[in-house]
Structure 1
């Protein structure tokens, strides 16, 4: 019985993959890394050269790297001993791995990397292979080796030919290929008569640059890949124009490696899929409409309704003209925002929804405007636009329309620190799209926000159904004045941060927030922890709603204080390139932005703009993954 048990145990050990690797001849393992096994072989053929083959086998979930790892990792390398001819490596087509917004290029499971060297080597080939392998953590392992080249080994010849079959071709996939550069972006264009099915792009990254994940779009036989570039720190990276760049284009199992000279980047056309474009337009309309329900706009809406109530016996024509003037103010303001975003893009500045609230001059101006509205409603004075205009800013009747126009404009400007549902998607697409699409989507946002105002303009009878004027209207004026004054005080409270002053805010949160960075996300994941990301700003009203309604709840606070949870907060109150880049990597241009990572969500999961208790707690549970 004991003998039978021993035999069964031996069979199980032989079937266990890592044990079987080590048992095969020529495979090398390391006591410091039991997740990988390597083997080197060599053969001297009749072609006057020596062929080598590096085999790497990895446990499930582990990966190693291509010749150009990307934003992290180390490529395999060999330090040869003794005098050796130059060795040429042939790299199989890699795969892309994205974790926490960082993209790398490499291999998983198994890869065989063929090499050649001219002539015959010394009797024995020796050296040290350095291999980087990563899963939740990364290991850099050295494998000393020594081998004698075989001659005419049929098994080696088969394996070598199979490995060369996975190496990209020099031509045959693309009919034309070019690359261009503009500040912060590399644009690759390729054509293929047969069209594209599942295209991908892998780049050999220069030493002084860093490339993010390519954004690929196809139309018929043409492919465009837009690659965000940087210097890996805070800059946009070097000017690549005039340089030679090596890249691999792959599609549905076929790959081609080419070297191209980088020229000036051509414009990338907007996506031609009408369903996608109309879907984004719908998001823009819905997002603009929902802005009317956000607390940022309520004071202006209240003032607008108050302007009707304070003038008795208005006819439908006047009401229609007043609301149409406000609609014109809303549309004009969104066009002004589109112009601002266009200028920022052309000058390579940061783009984002509500970024004007990062400017103290804008905040101060808006605060003064709100004070003026409040004072006017309190009856202290009547504020006029200029000596040439006689229409009062807050109209109290008559036929003047300028005041109503500026009410619409003010509502738009106060709406920009709010991120309504659907808004982030529409704005993100707009800011990345060609300029005509950007202007069109901002127009759709303006139309969406104008819908309630247009409704009253089309049916003035709705406004005429409001209660008749009476003594209660004086109380309404005071309520509206207080609302305006509160908005002015809120705006003024944003200014100290711009001058390095302490705001004196005492947070009631018990969460140990840490500064947000890509490195912090990766470090937490490497320790098998969950990560809660909160990107916020003092001027973001939606952020404050999320904090009050969700993040300040006792059960949510307790969940975020769990030992395996790392809470990272990014403050976008002031301009921050690191926060801007963090959002850009995730296709975001607005705050609030919340995301959760963990063993069960290594790629991260974004939460809705308006948080809910269940969304936060359920996603934190999902991030735990399977219990080991």
Structure 2
């Protein structure tokens, strides 16, 4: 594939060349309507469907016949390259030529350029409106001139011909081959960088290989993979826009192809397009699996999050809940239920917010919350407060993460656990979350709830299965020591969030966050001293913390500096991802290893440390001439989000291997090993 800019320049050059070759001054055509190029490669004949009748529509046809199988013609919108037909007819006075009617075209992809073509013999019908008062004696003398392009995979030749209508032709078959126009008008909307179309189509219509041919030129990316969803008797198509186009349309026309030459024409006006629907076609990996497999995948993915590296920093919270669960059966059950409620509510809430943002046109994915500096600051404050609470600096009398038997504490633990545990997608979970972004809202939220249930399942079982609780250590004084030990991993979490704050907003942003954090810890220290003295403590917190919080409210926004797009530090010296860079790398004829990561994704960083950043992998890549490319999703990036969505991925990590030959990449597992990467390169 070529660089998209090169592709569009090539398409423009081909179209301009074709127009220059076939353009003839009007005066010259009037003086002598003679064909300059002829129709040797694709011949054309004008035929009429019987004799015209006054006041009725009369049908003419242009029958195109290639001289050899390698020649092809073009639809009215030829795609990225080529030239549509230009027709002039000399009709009796008052007779009007209608819009040409085409069969369903085929697609031809050459070097990244998508062409809308016809192979073999085909006919274009031209309706003619005959006046009611027309005097008709036999076949009218209808002449004309047509200009078009004949191409092979390697060469294009302009064609033209002088036309004179005769009778004959297979109009019954030709009419059947024309895509019929739907009676109902559809709707379309342009959201973000996508065109979304709602086509009224009965659910009973089979769509083995759907594809939309958009008649509006330079609106959509013709070569992009299209996604199709069904919502009752409405077919919803999503097509990426042409990044070099206008991105606007007053009305929309096109052909919806079903496959095997069948299809319908449609017209659409601007309006609301339903969200969601059952995915029936799309990029590889996006076809919706059976619902039961998605449910099991979400449940298993949530369960495995308990041991994924990205969840390790919050294991201290879970460990304390685990220890407290053995105190009594009633407390164990209430804590298990409260913890589960917190986890499920957080997952459903995050999922609902994600779906709402996407429906509003925002290009966001799973773990989008950690791409927002303000959310990371809130998490940093929470992690710090929990750390000093574990360390015994102060107590939360009514809502504590560390005091057993309090459902409120277990519920808050569940909320925070789910919020911090969802940045990375693990095994089984990726397919379910990818499908959730495309399913109807109700089913999508059910998958998010199942994800939360899987995450909370171990603690729910401990609460309701006495045999499991009996294996836990008995409560005792050791728990206070354990609580203080657990301050260490929570403190490490806070340090990681400080680092992420600097990555997101710059050093000044991180420094001001530390100043505000110092004030909060100082205020909590004052609270702890007053608590030990038996005095009223929390008003003092407000007095001490208020100046620091006010400082943070003004200083943090003003000091925020959005980071530039820089590739991660790597022994491979990877290229920073963009669609243009990927197209250029693939056009080089070398294999490409592309990975998507984020600074807040611990799984990503572990994979990079144990697999990608290994000397054996570097040597194997160098020997095979592998081009490495990284997409950094630490900060929201619409281009990366769209790419992930197109691959059926809801978040990171994502690892793709493009072979030197072939169009589609191989998606590698989310847990990498050096041997796996070395084998790919060999």
TM-score past 0.5 threshold: yes
1:288-310 deviation per Cα after TM superposition (whole angstroms, max 9, x unaligned): 1111111233343333323565x
> Any residues of structure 2 matched to 1:509-548 within 5 Å, and which?
509-548=570-609
Checking the alignment, whether the CA contact within 8 Å between 1:335 and 1:443 is kept in structure 2 is yes
What is the CA-CA distance between 1:336 and the residue it aligns to?
Answer: 2.0
- Which of 207, 210, 226 aligns to 1:200? It is 210
Q: How has the CA–CA distance of structure 1 residues 597 and 474 changed in structure 2, closer, same or farther, with 3 Å as cutoff?
A: same
Q: Paired residue for 1:626?
A: none
Q: Paired residue for 2:196?
A: 186
> Any residues of structure 2 matched to 1:372-387 within 5 Å, and which?
372-382=385-395, 384=396
Q: Paired residue for 2:398?
A: 391
What is the CA-CA distance between 1:539 and the residue it aligns to?
Answer: 0.9
Task: After superposing the two structures, state which structure 1 stretch, 524-533 or 83-92, moved more.
Answer: 83-92
Is 2:191 aligned against 1:168? no
1:545-568 deviation per Cα after TM superposition (whole angstroms, max 9, x unaligned): 221222122232233334642222
Is 2:311 aligned against 1:301? no
Secondary structure of 1:75's counterpart equals: coil
Checking the alignment, whether the CA contact within 8 Å between 1:93 and 1:166 is kept in structure 2 is no
- Which of 218, 228, 235 aligns to 1:224? It is 235
Checking the alignment, whether the CA contact within 8 Å between 1:532 and 1:595 is kept in structure 2 is yes
Higher strand share: 1
In structure 2, list runs of 5 or more residues that go unmatched.
1-38, 52-59, 92-96, 127-140, 281-286, 508-562
CA distance in 2, matches of 1:313, 1:121: 92
Checking the alignment, whether the CA contact within 8 Å between 1:596 and 1:620 is kept in structure 2 is no
What is the CA-CA distance between 1:456 and the residue it aligns to?
Answer: 0.5
Q: Calculate the TM-score normalised by the size of structure 1.
A: 0.74
Checking the alignment, whether the CA contact within 8 Å between 1:114 and 1:164 is kept in structure 2 is yes
What is the CA-CA distance between 1:373 and the residue it aligns to?
Answer: 1.8
What is the CA-CA distance between 1:457 and the residue it aligns to?
Answer: 0.7
- Which of 52, 67, 77 aligns to 1:68? It is 77
> Any residues of structure 2 matched to 1:310-459 within 5 Å, and which?
314-382=327-395, 384=396, 390-397=397-404, 399-459=405-465
Checking the alignment, whether the CA contact within 8 Å between 1:179 and 1:189 is kept in structure 2 is yes
> Any residues of structure 2 matched to 1:146-161 within 5 Å, and which?
none
Checking the alignment, whether the CA contact within 8 Å between 1:331 and 1:443 is kept in structure 2 is yes
Cα-Cα RMSD:
4.3
Q: Paired residue for 1:41?
A: 43
1:426-447 deviation per Cα after TM superposition (whole angstroms, max 9, x unaligned): 1122222222222222111111
1:483-529 deviation per Cα after TM superposition (whole angstroms, max 9, x unaligned): 111111111111123224589x9966321311222233333333322
Q: How has the CA–CA distance of structure 1 residues 617 and 89 changed in structure 2, closer, same or farther, with 3 Å as cutoff?
A: farther
Q: Paired residue for 1:215?
A: 227
Task: After superposing the two structures, state which structure 1 stretch, 318-327 or 180-189, moved more.
Answer: 180-189
Q: How has the CA–CA distance of structure 1 residues 320 and 44 changed in structure 2, closer, same or farther, with 3 Å as cutoff?
A: closer
In structure 1, list runs of 5 or more residues that go unmatched.
1-36, 134-138, 385-389, 622-628
Pairs aligned (count): 549
What is the CA-CA distance between 1:356 and the residue it aligns to?
Answer: 0.4
1:566-618 deviation per Cα after TM superposition (whole angstroms, max 9, x unaligned): 22211111111111111122222211111122344312222222224454444
Q: Paired residue for 2:56?
A: none
What is the CA-CA distance between 1:415 and the residue it aligns to?
Answer: 0.8
1:232-286 deviation per Cα after TM superposition (whole angstroms, max 9, x unaligned): 2699x43x5x624232443554333344545433466447999812221111111
Secondary structure of 1:256's counterpart equals: strand
- Which of 298, 301, 310 aligns to 1:287? It is 301
CA distance in 2, matches of 1:193, 1:416: 36
